Each structure stands twice: as C-alpha cells, then as structure tokens.
Amino acid sequence: MESRLTDTQRELRDNCKNFVDHHLAKMAAQIDITGSFPREFIYLMGKQGFLAPLLSSEFNGLGCDAMGFNLISTEMNKACSNARSLITVTSMVCYAIARWGSKELQIKWLPGLASGEFIGAYALSEPDIGCQASAVALTVTASGDCFILNGSKKWISFGQIADVFLVFGQLEGKSVACLVESHHPGVSVTPINHMMGCRASMLAEIQFQDCAIAKSNLVGGVGLGIPAVAMSGLLVGRLSVASGCVGMAQAAMEAAFDYALQRRQFGQKLIEFQLINRLLAEMKTRVAAARALCFYAADALDHNVPTIDEQIIIAKYFAGGMVNDVLRDAVQIFGANGCREGTLVERFYRDAKIMEIIEGSNEMLQLKLGKRK
C-alpha cells in the first residue's frame, strides 16, 4: 500500500511529521500530566489545517482524502493521543455538518471549527447508553419554531471546552441530530477528570433541561439522526482511532527496539535474548497488519465501496486489540523503567486501553462482524 501513495499524500504525511516533531512531541507528556489541552496549540493545529483535514480549503480544511486523513491520524498519535482525539472529534462533527447540514450551518460553523476558533463535541453517548447508538434517550420535542431538548450526555470528548455540541436524540420515536451551543440557556456542563488514559481529552457530562433551540439547527432530516448523521460521523471517527492506534504502536515499538539495543542484562544487550526477539517480532508483525487494514479501510472510504462500514470496523477492531498487545510487551521490555509516569510507553499503555472502548467497544464491534456473512 505504501507504493500506492501519491506524491500529495506523502507530502502531507511529511508535513504532519515535521509538525509533530517540532511542536507536539515536546509537550505531549506535559499535556497528559496536566489533563488540559492548550487552546493556543489548538489554534496552531488549525492554522496547519490538521483539525478538520477532510474539509475543503473553502472551510479552512486541507481537502485531503481518507488516505491522507489516515496518515495524519497515524503521525499525530505517534506523539499524543489527545491531539489525535481532538482531530477525531472535530472531524466527526465537521464531516456530519458538511454532509448533512444546511448551507447556513456549514457557513456558520465549519470555518471556525477547522481553524480552532470554535471547538466542537460529538454528543452521542449517554449515562445509560454507550455503544447502542439507536437507544439514545434524550428527548427532542417540537414546539412552534423550536425544538426543546431534555436529557443528558456523558463521556463527551472536549465537552469541557466545546463551543457547540452535535447532539443526538429522539423526536416522537424518530432519531434526530442538532447543533446546540454550549452557552445556550438550559445547557450545563460538568467536567469529568482523572481518567486513566487520554487524560487531556477533557471529557464532560452535558445536561439539557428545557433547552430550546431553533429548528434550523437540525442536521439532516427527522429520522436520519442515527442511521445517517451519527453513522457517517462514526465512519470517520473509527478510521481515525484505528490509524491512531497504528501510530501509537509504531512509536512504542521503536522505543522498545532502541531500549533493547542499549539495555544490558547478564552481560549482553536485551535484543540478543531470544525471548525479547520474539516480542519485538510480534510487535513488528502486528503493527504492519494493522497499518495494512487502515490503508484498506481508507481506500474503501475514498472509493465508496459497498463494504465501507465493515472495512473500517475491521480496522478499528483489530488495531484496538493490537495496540494493547504492543504496549503491554513494550512496557515488559522496559521493565520498571516503563512503569514510571512521564515515559512514553507508560503514557501510551494507559491510552491504549481507551482505544478498545471509544467509537464502539471491541466487544460490540466483534458482535457486528460476527453476525455478517
């Protein structure tokens, strides 16, 4: 698949790698420790077009294809899962608005979301509803020219600092999606801190109490909230997470190789022990397999093949398990040195577990795949 990349895609990857090496890598550990993602760095990512790269330049995006998006997610997550998470969420919101939103909503929100002027959040998960998107309980009631929202959302990435939420609910038994500004009357935000991994994704619980919004804030038609708007956003989100897993695992594998070449035990380098060789060989194979699946999934999205959904689910399912295997073995190679807070493998070990849960748990994805011929 590498040989099939275009010059444009390679240039995009090189530009992203340069940005990560010169800006993101040096502050990734501190972002994790503080549990806060700096707004000034969000602006910097937006200036480079990395927040919503799938958008056209008309809306401050890069106009890249899914393959380019895959490469960006991979490079970002070689340094920081939180930065990749921001790209994931922003792209999910922007993709949904660009595909299903009115021209007025596109003009109002997309340029600012892509530049970092606004922060968007994807408000799908609820306190009692996780992976089962079709079971969302938030109610949307029509009243004159308004919709009235009542209910709550939980585990919403960047909900603490979001300017606008893409909210999913039920209107007379039919799913709907709408945009709600965070400062709107009837909206309250409760931060969720001290998470195990992706600590600077700034999660929040969002309460909507008699929150009245204009009907023009509807994204897509009535009945399209989950099957169209939410699912199209999840395609992008799952691809980004899968690609991010590849980047995270690649960085951990390289760190483990370097450590095994330097560390000596019993009079020889770690890499000379057959058991260590086995761990490194398994890492290399798993990363290569996950990268190929992500390339295949991105290619499917770019060419709109009938099995897009399944290919992306396969990539996310495999990559989520893969990154946990790789990080477990990387920490094992580092030993006690890999258990110290602030080291890359320790941070990524915590982040890796989150990848098996977000955008559809591995168990839920396994059920989806297992029921299809």
Q: For the beta carbon of residue 107, count every other beta carbon within 10 angstroms.
A: 12
Q: Based on the fold, state whether residues 231 and 366 are members of the same structural domain.
A: yes
Listed residues 99, 119, 139: the one ending a domain: 119
pLDDT value for 264: 87
Query: Binning pLDDT at 50, 70 and 90, where does residue 134 land?
Result: confident
Claim to verify: residue 197 and residue 144 sit in the same structural domain: yes
% of the chain with per-residue pLDDT over 70: 99
3-state secondary structure of 121: strand
Q: At 213, phi and psi to the nearest 5?
A: -125, 155
353 and 245 co-located in one domain: yes
Single out the residue in 217, 238, 256 at which a domain terminates.
Answer: 217
Asked if residue 112 and residue 17 are part of one domain, the reply reads yes
Does 238 lie in the same domain as 207? no
Residue 349 belongs to a domain with what CATH number? 1.20.140.10
116 DSSP assignment: T
The predicted-structure confidence for 4-49, as pLDDT tens digits, reads as follows: 899 999 999 999 999 999 999 999 999 999 999 999 999 999 999 9
Domain boundary (184, 217, 250) is at 217
Nearest to 170 by CA among 144, 150, 186, 185: 150
- Per-residue model confidence (pLDDT) at position 252: 98
The verdict on 252 and 316 lying in the same domain is yes
Q: Do 280 and 149 reside in the same domain of the chain?
A: no
CA 225, CA 51: separation in Å to the nearest integer?
A: 24
Is residue 373's pLDDT more than 80?
no
Domain match, 242 and 108 both? no
Q: What is the CATH number of the domain that holds 203?
A: 2.40.110.10
Q: What is the residue range of 285's domain?
A: 225-370
Residue 257 pLDDT exceeds 80: yes
pLDDT tens by residue, 137-188? 999 999 999 999 999 999 999 999 999 999 999 999 999 999 999 999 999 9
The whole-number pLDDT of residue 4 equals: 86
Are 259 and 331 in the same domain?
Answer: yes
Are 74 and 8 within one domain?
yes
DSSP assignment of 291-327 equals HHHHHHHHHHHHTT-TTHHHHHHHHHHHHHHHHHHHH
Judgement on whether residues 95 and 186 belong to the same structural domain of the protein: no
In this structure, the answer to whether residues 183 and 266 fall within a common structural domain is no
Domain count, the chain: 3
Domain of 16, CATH number, reads 1.10.540.10
